[in-house]
Amino acid sequence: MSSESRPWHVESSIVSKRTSNPIRKVIDQLNVPPNPAKQLVSLSIGDPTLYGNLPPPETATSTLAAKSTDLKSNGYLHSCGSPVARDAVAKAYTNSTLTYTSDDVVLASGCSGAIEMAISVLGNEGDNILLPRPGFSLYQTICESKGIECRHYNLLPEKMWEADLADMQSKIDSKTKAIIINNPSNPCGSVFSLQHLREIAQLAAKNKVPIIADEIYAHMTFSGTSFHSLVEVGKEVPVLVTSGLAKRYMVPGWRLGWILIHDPIGAFAEVRKGLLALSTLILGANSVVQAATKSILENTPVSYMEHNMSILETNAKYCTARVQEIPELFAIQPLGAMYMMVGIKEGAIEAKLFDEVEFSRQLLIEQSVAVLPGSCFGLQHFFRLVVCAPIDKLQIAFDRIAEFCHTHSLIQSRDVVVNGLAAVKLTEE
Ligand X SMILES: Cc1ncc(COP(=O)(O)O)c(C=O)c1O
Chain residues binding ligand X by CB under 6 A are 46, 110-112, 136, 182, 186, 214, 216, 244, 246, 252, 257
Q: Binding segment for a copy of itself among 162-170, 248-256, 330-338, 383-391 (CB under 8 A)?
A: 248-256
According to CB under 8 A, which residues from 210 to 239 bind a copy of itself? 210, 238
CA distance readout (Å), 76 to 4, 82, 88, 274: 44, 9, 19, 21
Give strand pairing partners of 221: 336
Q: Is the separation of the CB atoms in 338 and 370 below 8 Å?
A: no
Choose between 216 and 278: whose C-beta lies nearer to ligand X: 216
Within 259-278, the residues that bind a copy of itself by CB under 8 A are 265, 267-271, 273-275, 277-278
Return d(Cα 160, Cα 334) in angstroms, integer: 8
Smallest distance, ligand X to C-beta of residue 339, A: 8
The contacts of residue 3 (CB under 8 Å, 6+ apart) are none
| Residue 377, SS3 per DSSP | helix
CB nearer to ligand X: pick between 81 and 327: 81
Instruction: Give the Å distances, CA to CA, from 264 to 38, 94, 204, 269, 392.
Output: 56, 13, 14, 11, 48
β-pairing, 239-244 vs 176-182, is unpaired
Partner in contact with 6, chosen from ligand X, a copy of itself, none, beta carbon below 5 to 8 Å by kind: a copy of itself
Rank residues 283 and 305 by Cβ distance to a copy of itself and give the closer one: 283
Sole binder of a copy of itself in the list 15, 321, 351, 422 (CB under 8 A) = 15
Nearer to a copy of itself, 41 or 275 (CB): 275
Reduce the DSSP state of residue 117 to 3 states and report it.
helix
CB 297 within 8 A of CB 92: yes
Q: Which amino acid is at 237?
A: V
Which amino acid does the sequence have at 186? N
Could you say which residues in the range 135-194 bind a copy of itself, by CB under 8 A? 138, 141-142, 145-146, 177
> Which one of the spans 29-37, 286-294, 337-345, 358-366 is the region binding a copy of itself (CB under 8 A)?
286-294
CB of 127 to a copy of itself, least distance (A): 8
- Asked whether the beta carbons of 184 and 220 are under 8 A apart, the reply is yes
Partner touching 274 among a copy of itself, ligand X, none, CB below 5 to 8 Å by kind: a copy of itself
Residue 182 contacts which entry, a copy of itself, ligand X, none (Cβ below 5-8 A, type-dependent): ligand X
# binding residues, a copy of itself (CB under 8 A): 87
Count of alpha carbons within 13 angstroms of residue 70, beta-carbon side: 14
Q: Report the nearest approach of ligand X to the CB of residue 270 (Å).
A: 25
Residues 33-62: x/- map of binding to a copy of itself (CB under 8 A)? Answer: ------------x-x-xx-x--xx----xx
- Provide, rounded to whole angstroms, the least separation between the CB of residue 189 and a copy of itself: 19
Judging by beta carbons within 10 Å of its beta carbon (0-12, 13-18, 19+), is residue 251 exposed, middle or buried? Answer: buried
DSSP for 301-356, written as a single string: -HHHHHHHHHHHHHHHHHHHHHHHT-TTEEE----BTTEEEEEEPTTTB-HHHHSH
Q: Which of residues 103-142 bind a copy of itself (CB under 8 A)?
A: 108-110, 112-113, 116, 120-125, 138, 141-142
Residue 261 binding: pick among a copy of itself, ligand X, none (C-beta 5-8 Å cut-off by kind): none
Q: What angle do helix axes 391-407 and 302-324 make, rounded to 10 degrees?
A: 20
Q: CB of residue 138 vs ligand X: minimum separation in angstroms?
A: 6
* Shortest spacing between CB 9 and ligand X, in angstroms: 28
Among 156, 283, 396, 417, binds a copy of itself (CB under 8 A): 283
